[in-house]
Amino acid sequence: MYLERLILRQEGEEILQDVKQVLTKTATINNPRQQFNNWLKSKEGQAWKQKEFKKRNGICAYCGEKMREQDIDVHHVQPISQYGHSANTISNYRLLHPSCNSKIQTQVVDLLF
């Protein structure tokens, strides 16, 4: 009897661990920041970044200075923190120096384009 209860308890704990794992995974998948990072790492995201860099002649949308292609951040005009998933659309992205991006962070500021 005691042993049966012990086994049941162990099984219950294993199921709980599985459920926790699924919940964590789901939360990650649904996280708009995570979705953006995944897109940016993808072929599509990288291709967009290259194209956008050429289109803007490598100019930072915040300070107007030239950027190095290997050293750029993708900034959200409307921040993810406020707009969630709807901030994840190409028309909401601008290329910035990482230093400019970290200066403005989640503030909504006037950009050059």
Q: Which residues lie near Zn ion (CB under 5 A)?
A: 60, 62-63, 97, 100
CA distance 47 to 40: 9
Q: Which residues of 88-98 are buried (b: 16+ CB within 10 A; e: fewer)?
A: beeebbbbbbe
Of the pair 52, 84, the CB lying nearest Zn ion is at: 52
Of the pair 26, 102, the CB lying nearest Zn ion is at: 102
Cβ of residue 110: shortest distance to Zn ion, in angstroms?
A: 14
Cβ of residue 95: shortest distance to Zn ion, in angstroms?
A: 9
The answer to whether 87 and 41 have CB atoms below 8 angstroms apart is no
The answer to whether 111 and 61 have CB atoms below 8 angstroms apart is yes
Cβ of residue 43: shortest distance to Zn ion, in angstroms?
A: 26
Residue, CB closest to Zn ion: 60
